């Protein structure tokens, strides 16, 4: 028993020493944080942001393999769709002729069909002579924009980062609004005006350092880059508020320095354990196959860790700086007590829990039909970006395009031709494009085989020259011996012979007349573009334009069928079908696993933390059931409204709700279990709700409003979905822990007690008289009954159980207790 008291005393003494060091060395920590902040201002520009969700798909998915193969094998030129509205066809045709003069444009599609001119609007499909990532492609697009600046122009392109730039602007505005909300809530919930700058300086320092350390993970996703700071502020605000409240509590009987030290020694273990539930929920996202979960989890966990450091290392020094101001600016609390909530809970304790159970079952069944989507085309956002509005206008005038690439082994044009013909016959295919069905000239396709005579007639080339050319080509043919015996029937694919002729002319072996040379130059340019885009060293690429939407069961089923069709001509293992639809199909398949894994892991992680927090098997199950029920209710709303939800938003919000919103339930449950045996159950629940309301209204309001702002002001489908679901989920969580959880605690407290596995530590009865120093939680008689946490001197008779801490006999020289305390504080300071 003495050993147990000794361990508790040593642990308390250690935390006091650590806290004293932090408080007394505050200038050192000010310097370190100052250096970190200056560094962060510079380093925040080093981070690389990935704007494509497909980049986070597992390497085993078809999309990842297809993108990698296409990057290795083919050239992707910069392209743009340019719509010019409110012009007659004659004007549209004149613009087409002007665009044709641009050297930077290598392909320009426009004609008088409805695909390119409709309702007095012209649509030009432009391909630039530079790769998509080449800055010259963007410069060429600006030249086109300058040419058409007098017209009503709408440009849609995958080049550049216009959407990312707009999202960054939106999040800047949202961050300012969230900051205003934070200040307003803190002013409303504060007890002294000067505590607000202490809290804000702590928050802002942590947020800036978080942004400055993003480069450590290399590349982060646009989702993490957009919402981490806002969520960090909302998730970690509790830590600083808990410490601040601890300080104010200790400062009622201690000086500024002593209160700061004692408060910090108590806050470090309390806040650290509180953060574990949030971290536990976030860790679940790291188990996702979809890499963006790990990316976001690491960003948010690092943000929470830095918030803890700011609270533990920076905030104590700030309290010392603002301590006197905090004393001078005290004011009456604006948060009212809410005894009616506790009274309502007590009266309805037999009614609400069964009703909630019914709601729980119904919500589970409804949310299971939530319409999840895996792309942006079926999402509606309150705000539309410029790019979204342009795409919508083009779609209204000229319809939508959904195409996938079909990548197969190269070297057999006949197979490609038969495959494309079979695909074109399908109702799900609008048309296809490959070397085998692209017209070269006079009705011949690029891969059609021509004899020497056919080739000479096509180009109006002297037959003898054509024959010599074919002989030269045949020398490199592996079937050369057979060719010699039947040369008149020897045929070569048109594109191969064109490219061979161009090389021969370029090397000076063949000379052509000027007219023929112009024809050859023009044909070579177009064929080289076709080869760059459609044929690599080992693989060929075909584009298949579908009549199906980008996602949906029918689309996904046809993608599988495309593999079956291509499997007739090639080894299935060598066939890939990358594209937007395939990317969404891959996301759909990863979601089926990831959703289950995230839910299970987040529940288990939080369960473990709660088991050791409450030392009871019943309490964690009860709290998790409540929050999981709220999550089900949250995702029942879009199911009832038939409103599509982006799958990623659902997984992220489920993890955050389980990890962060459960803190509200912990505050209520912990307080109720602490006082339920000290007064009547009715008084205990009233006192509990009065105690918990300030914490819940402070943290909950910030998180809910942060989510609402993100949801209503972001044009990105994923980011917007996170905000909408998080805002709604937090409001539901607050309502549930205020008006449902108290009744469940009242009804289930006996079960919680019976499932407790806490080990009762035997108490040591201390009997002393005279002057004593007591530090710890005590119970017993001291010229009257006492119970509570006590730090101070006692003169008299005491019979006490010292649960935690120590009772130390002091020599009594008859001085006043005030003099003895002043002497001890002076010795401690020295």
Least trusted range by pLDDT, from 86-100, 291-305, 588-602, 804-818: 804-818
pLDDT of res. 2:
40
pLDDT bin (cut points 50, 70, 90) of residue 9 is: very low
Least trusted range by pLDDT, from 144-148, 458-462, 581-585, 765-769: 765-769
Least trusted range by pLDDT, from 351-365, 539-553, 675-689, 775-789: 775-789
pLDDT bin (cut points 50, 70, 90) of residue 769 is: low
Least trusted range by pLDDT, from 174-183, 364-373, 411-420: 174-183
Instruction: List phi, psi (to 5°) of 222.
Output: -65, -25
Enter the tokens of residue 248.
């104010």
Least trusted range by pLDDT, from 37-46, 306-315, 745-754: 745-754
CA 59 distance to own-chain centroid:
20
Q: What is the pTM of this model?
A: 0.78
**Segment 596-611, tens digit of pLDDT:** 888 888 888 888 888 8
Would you say residue 803 has pLDDT above 60? no
pLDDT of res. 644:
92
pLDDT of res. 49:
85
Residues 249, 81 contacting (CB under 8 angstroms): no
Rounded CA-CA distance 432/426 in Å is: 11
- The count of other CB atoms within 10 Å of the CB of residue 787 is 13
pLDDT of res. 606:
83
pLDDT of res. 310:
94
Would you say residue 8 has pLDDT above 50? no
pLDDT of res. 273:
76
CA angle 745, 747, 750 (to 5 degrees): 85
Would you say residue 405 has pLDDT above 90? yes
**Collapsed DSSP state (helix, strand, coil) of residue 253:** coil
Residues 352, 743 contacting (CB under 8 angstroms): yes
- The count of other CB atoms within 10 Å of the CB of residue 586 is 24
Would you say residue 478 has pLDDT above 80? no
Residues 770, 817 contacting (CB under 8 angstroms): no
Would you say residue 388 has pLDDT above 60? yes
pLDDT bin (cut points 50, 70, 90) of residue 741 is: very high
Enter the tokens of residue 697.
């209204």
Rounded CA-CA distance 206/198 in Å is: 13
Residues 636, 363 contacting (CB under 8 angstroms): yes
What is the arithmetic mean of pLDDT over 696-725? 88
**Segment 607-648, tens digit of pLDDT:** 888 887 777 788 888 888 898 999 999 999 999 999 999 988
Contacting residues for 558 by C-beta, under 8 A, at least 6 apart? 428, 546, 548
DSSP state of 335: P
**Segment 55-77, tens digit of pLDDT:** 888 888 999 999 999 999 998 89
What does DSSP say about strands 764-781 and 785-809: parallel, antiparallel, or unpaired? Answer: antiparallel
Q: Residue 390 to residues 111, 393, 715: CA-CA distances in angstroms?
A: 21, 5, 13
Our separate counts of H helices and E strands in the chain read 30, 18
pLDDT bin (cut points 50, 70, 90) of residue 188 is: confident
**Collapsed DSSP state (helix, strand, coil) of residue 176:** helix
pLDDT of res. 277:
80
Would you say residue 92 has pLDDT above 90? yes
Rounded CA-CA distance 733/626 in Å is: 9
Rounded CA-CA distance 23/268 in Å is: 13
pLDDT of res. 390:
87
Average pLDDT over the chain reads 85
**Segment 529-550, tens digit of pLDDT:** 889 999 998 999 999 999 999 9
Bigger pLDDT: 377 vs 830: 377
What is the arithmetic mean of pLDDT over 698-713? 87
**Segment 807-826, tens digit of pLDDT:** 667 777 767 666 776 676 66
Rounded CA-CA distance 219/476 in Å is: 48
Would you say residue 322 has pLDDT above 70? yes
pLDDT of res. 1:
40
What is the arithmetic mean of pLDDT over 165-170? 80
């Amino acid at each position: 028993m003495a050993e147990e008291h000794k361990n508790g005393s040593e642990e308390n003494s250690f935390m006091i020493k650590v806290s004293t060091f932090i408080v007394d060395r505050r200038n050192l920590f000010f310097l370190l944080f100052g250096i970190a902040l200056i560094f962060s201002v510079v380093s925040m520009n080093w981070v690389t942001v990935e704007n494509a969700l497909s980049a986070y798909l597992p390497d085993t998915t078809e999309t990842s393999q297809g993108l990698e193969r296409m990057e290795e094998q083919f050239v992707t030129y910069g392209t743009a769709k340019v719509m010019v509205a409110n012009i007659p066809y004659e004007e549209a045709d004149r613009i087409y002729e002007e665009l044709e003069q641009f050297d930077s444009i290598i392909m320009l599609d426009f004609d008088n069909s409805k695909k390119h001119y409709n309702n007095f609007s012209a649509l030009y499909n432009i391909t630039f002579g530079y790769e998509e990532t080449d800055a010259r492609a963007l410069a060429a697009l600006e030249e086109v924009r300058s040419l058409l600046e007098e017209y009503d122009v709408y440009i849609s392109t995958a080049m550049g980062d216009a959407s990312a730039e707009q999202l960054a602007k939106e999040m800047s505005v949202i961050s300012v609004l969230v900051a205003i909300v934070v200040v307003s809530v803190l002013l409303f919930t504060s007890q002294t005006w000067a505590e607000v700058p202490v809290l804000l300086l702590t928050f802002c320092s942590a947020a800036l350092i978080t942004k400055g350390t993003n480069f450590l993970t290399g590349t982060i996703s646009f989702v993490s880059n957009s919402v981490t700071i806002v969520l960090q502020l909302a998730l970690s605000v509790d830590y600083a508020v808990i410490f601040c409240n601890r300080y104010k509590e200790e400062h009622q009987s201690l000086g500024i320095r002593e209160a700061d030290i004692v408060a910090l020694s108590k806050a470090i273990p309390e806040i650290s354990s509180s953060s574990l539930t949030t971290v536990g929920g976030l860790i679940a996202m790291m188990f996702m196959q979809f890499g963006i979960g790990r990316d976001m989890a690491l960003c948010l966990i690092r943000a929470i860790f830095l918030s803890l450091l700011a609270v533990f290392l920076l905030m104590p020094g700030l309290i010392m700086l603002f301590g006197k101001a905090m004393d001078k600016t005290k004011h009456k609390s604006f948060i009212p007590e809410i005894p009616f909530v506790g009274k309502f809970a007590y009266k309805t304790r037999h009614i609400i829990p069964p009703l909630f159970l019914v709601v729980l079952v119904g919500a589970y069944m409804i949310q299971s039909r939530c319409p999840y989507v895996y792309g942006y085309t079926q999402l509606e956002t309150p705000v539309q970006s410029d790019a979204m509005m342009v795409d919508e206008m083009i779609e209204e005038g000229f319809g939508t395009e959904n195409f996938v690439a079909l990548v197969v082994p190269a070297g057999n044009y006949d197979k490609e031709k038969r495959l494309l013909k079979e695909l074109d016959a399908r109702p799900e295919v609008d048309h296809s494009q490959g070397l085998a069905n692209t017209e070269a000239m006079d009705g011949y396709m690029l891969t059609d085989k021509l004899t020497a005579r056919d080739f000479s007639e096509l180009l109006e080339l002297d037959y003898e020259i054509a024959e010599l050319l074919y002989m030269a080509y045949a020398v490199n043919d592996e079937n050369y011996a057979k060719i010699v015996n039947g040369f008149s029937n020897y045929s070569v694919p048109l594109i191969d012979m064109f490219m061979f002729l161009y090389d021969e002319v370029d090397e000076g072996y063949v000379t052509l007349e000027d007219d023929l040379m112009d024809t050859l130059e023009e044909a070579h340019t177009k064929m080289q573009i076709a080869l760059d885009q459609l044929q690599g060293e080992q693989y060929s690429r075909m584009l298949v334009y579908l009549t199906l939407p980008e996602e949906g069961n029918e689309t996904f089923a046809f993608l599988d069928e495309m593999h079956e069709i291509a499997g007739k001509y090639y080894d299935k293992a060598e066939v890939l079908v990358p594209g937007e639809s395939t990317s969404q199909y891959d996301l759909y398949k990863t979601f089926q696993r990831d959703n289950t894994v995230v839910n299970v892991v987040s529940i288990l992680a939080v369960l473990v933390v709660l088991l050791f927090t409450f030392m009871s098997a019943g309490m964690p199950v009860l709290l998790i059931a409540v929050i999981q029920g709220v999550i089900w209710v949250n995702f029942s709303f879009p199911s009832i409204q038939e409103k599509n939800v982006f799958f990623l938003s659902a997984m992220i919000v489920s993890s955050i709700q389980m990890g962060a919103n459960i803190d509200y339930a912990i505050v209520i449950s912990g307080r109720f279990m602490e006082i339920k045996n000290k007064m009547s159950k009715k008084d205990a629940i009233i006192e509990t709700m009065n105690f918990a309301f300030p914490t819940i209204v402070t943290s909950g309001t910030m998180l809910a409003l942060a989510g609402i702002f993100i949801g209503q002001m972001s044009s990105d489908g994923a980011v917007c979905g996170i905000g909408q679901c998080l805002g709604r989920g937090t409001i539901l969580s607050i309502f549930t822990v205020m008006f449902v959880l108290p009744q469940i605690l009242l009804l289930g407290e006996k079960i919680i007690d019976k499932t407790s596995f806490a080990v009762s530590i035997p108490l040591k009865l201390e009997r002393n008289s005279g002057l004593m120093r007591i530090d710890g939680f005590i119970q017993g008689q001291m010229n009257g009954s006492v119970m509570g946490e006590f730090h101070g001197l006692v003169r008299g008779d005491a019979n006490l159980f010292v649960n935690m801490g120590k009772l130390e006999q002091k020599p009594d020289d008859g001085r006043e207790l005030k003099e003895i305390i002043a002497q001890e504080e002076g010795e401690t300071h020295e």
